Amino acid sequence: MRVFSDMWAYLSDGASWSGSDGIAALLGQQLLLTVTALLMAMVVGLPLALWLGHLGRGGFLAINISNVGRAIPTFALLGLLVVAPWPGTDGLGPYGRAGLATLIALTLFALPPIITNAYVAMREVPAEVREAARGMGMTGTQRFWRVELPLGLPLVVSGLRLALVQVWATATIAALVAGPGLGQVITDGFFRSNYGKGIAGALVVAVVALVLELLAALVQRAADPTRRGAPPRGRKDALSVNPATVDQPAESVG
């Protein structure tokens, strides 16, 4: 297969990694995009979803945002934002051309898994634990910070993990509108019939996606309060929320 030798030649050539449009720079750009979009989605989505979950209201909203979000192709959304007069294709600092449009599209894309998981996490805290906290005289705010949030944290983090990997994956689509990120290597290779380059880009993106997934899995494990400090046996079962019961099905990847 000639494409594979082309791919290897491209990947092993130092020149394709360096420079402003080299793999390294684009990789950094895409990581920056992913992290920024995730942070923006967290700032917007987490407080709202956690508070609604605490109150036990708006479940319909949380679930439906997720369903509607799946039906909207990120490519279409990105296309609309880029062609529209605002934000258009203007550059945004280190994010490059169409940076703002890409950030907005990715943030919207990251919201559904974050909101749904955070809401469900708060609702999944066992009723008896909640009652007990109330019986101990805790106020609503205290229950939220000391009981519900720590117990729901693993599931909240699992939503963030899902969003992280999906945003990384979807960020490549920005290249279809000549936006920032590693997708540029892929689309450039394809449009110039340089398939070796296209496949090299695809390989780098795929490998980083797997690395991010593994890192996020480690963070998720660390976030489980029932694992920290190893509480005595027996007590553990009574307090654990058991995040495995709400195994979020994988959602749409861009």
- The binding site for another protein (CB under 8 A) comprises 1, 3-4, 67, 70-77, 79-80, 82-83, 165, 168-170, 172-173, 175-177, 183, 186-187, 189-190, 195, 198-199, 201-203, 205-206, 209-210, 212-213, 247, 249-254
137 vs 249, which CB is nearer to another protein?
A: 249
Q: How far is the CB of 56 from another protein (least distance, A)?
A: 22
Q: How far is the CB of 117 from another protein (least distance, A)?
A: 15
| Per-position DSSP letters for 14-71, written without gaps between them | GGGTSSTTSHHHHHHHHHHHHHHHHHHHHHHHHHHHHHHHHHT--HHHHHHHHHHHHH
User: Distance between CA atoms of 100 and 119, rounded to whole angstroms?
Assistant: 28
Query: Could you tell me the two tokens for 219?
Result: 């963070």
Q: How far is the CB of 130 from another protein (least distance, A)?
A: 27
46 vs 216, which CB is nearer to another protein?
A: 216
How many Cα atoms occupy the beta-carbon half-sphere of 11 within 13 Å? 17
Q: How far is the CB of 218 from another protein (least distance, A)?
A: 15
Cis omega (within 30 of 0) on the bond before 180? no
36 vs 170, which CB is nearer to another protein?
A: 170
213 vs 224, which CB is nearer to another protein?
A: 213
User: Distance between CA atoms of 242 and 212, rounded to whole angstroms?
Assistant: 24
